[in-house]
Amino acid sequence: METLGFIGLGRMGSRMAGRLLQAGYSLVVFDASASAMEQMVKAGAKAARSPADVASQAEVVLASLPVPPVVESVALGQDGIIHGSRIKLFVDMSTTGSIFAKRIAKGLASRNIVAVDAPVSGGIAGAAKGTIAIMTSCSAEVFERLQPILAVMGKPFLVGSEPGQGQTMKLLNNLLSAAAMAISCEAVAMGVKAGLDPNQMVDVLNSGSGRNSATQDKMKQFVISRSFALGFSIELLNKDVRLCLEEAEALGVPMIVGSAVRQIVGITASLEGPEGDMTAIAKPVEKWAGVTIKAKE
């Protein structure tokens, strides 16, 4: 099987890269963390010296990186993939927003490198299981070329043909995810204060029209259990919601509810710090309501 490049071996990237190795692909990898590189090399990957080095050994280079400036540096920087001698396709699985995606695509086009934005949703568990949604924006021809690779990591969707359209889809997804988490915490906190059992409340909600991603996948598992360990940071969610509202403003789309969601996410990020989990949105809600969302003893 062909050799692929993979840059960014964090919580999501390491699991996606691991699935590619398990599927039989040869993998050349790079990460700023030496320990992350070491773990992937032990699994069978080959270490590269820089993003440019990765792009000199593989025609298809994938990336999973935390914030837009890092993606831009990896793509267009001094040691970026733009300086690789072999690369033809750069598949960005990070969440950067459409403005950065368009900027990176334009920069890479000057070297005849096709940029594909392919952000993902489904969390660490989904990345490990290969069940993440991959929101791809590229030509039908490029999508056909990439589909077997992407299918190893999850379910690829061709959502658009223009740079940035995959990013827009991802931001909308994460805004809805944040909104579901915020309103579910408020609703359950209200029920707790009224004397209802939170576990039973979640069961009822999931059997009725109030069910959503938070009640189904997060409230019992990470809030009521008090683990707050979903694995997606409140800092990254704050970044995604901010990017979404900035794009909405540029498009002239009102985001009244979205603005309220941004406030609670931003407050939580300020209180919890960069390592706080997105499920910690429950904490300021609990404090203001004067309750704790936990199982009745």
Pairing of strands 154-160, 132-137: parallel
> d(Cα 219, Cα 265) in Å, to the nearest integer?
16
pLDDT of residue 172: 97
Question: Is residue 199 domain-shared with residue 245, that is, in the same domain?
Answer: yes
Residue 296 lies in a domain: no
pLDDT of residue 227: 97
- R_g of the chain computed on alpha carbons: 20
The 10s digit of each residue's pLDDT in 121-150 is 999 999 999 999 999 999 999 999 999 999
Mean pLDDT (the chain) is: 96
Residue that is written with structure tokens 């300020």 in the block: 270
Residue that is last in its domain, among 108, 135, 162: 162
Residue that is last in its domain, among 131, 146, 162: 162
Question: Is residue 155 domain-shared with residue 204, that is, in the same domain?
Answer: no
pLDDT of residue 1: 76
Residue 295 lies in a domain: no
CATH number of the domain bearing residue 73: 3.40.50.720
pLDDT above 70 covers a percentage of the chain that reads 100
Residue 127 lies in a domain: yes
Question: Is residue 133 domain-shared with residue 14, that is, in the same domain?
Answer: yes
pLDDT above 90 covers a percentage of the chain that reads 97
Q: For 278-296, give one letter per residue: b (16+ CB within 10 A) or e.
A: bbbbbbbbbeebebebeee
Two structure tokens written together for 136: 């791809």
Which residues are the active-site residues?
Answer: 170
Question: Is residue 181 domain-shared with residue 135, that is, in the same domain?
Answer: no
Question: Is residue 153 domain-shared with residue 241, that is, in the same domain?
Answer: no
Two structure tokens written together for 69: 């400036």
Question: Is residue 154 domain-shared with residue 217, that is, in the same domain?
Answer: no
The 10s digit of each residue's pLDDT in 14-67 is 999 999 999 999 999 999 999 999 999 999 999 999 999 999 999 999 999 999
Domain count across the chain:
2
Domain coverage including residue 16: 3-162
Residue 184 lies in a domain: yes
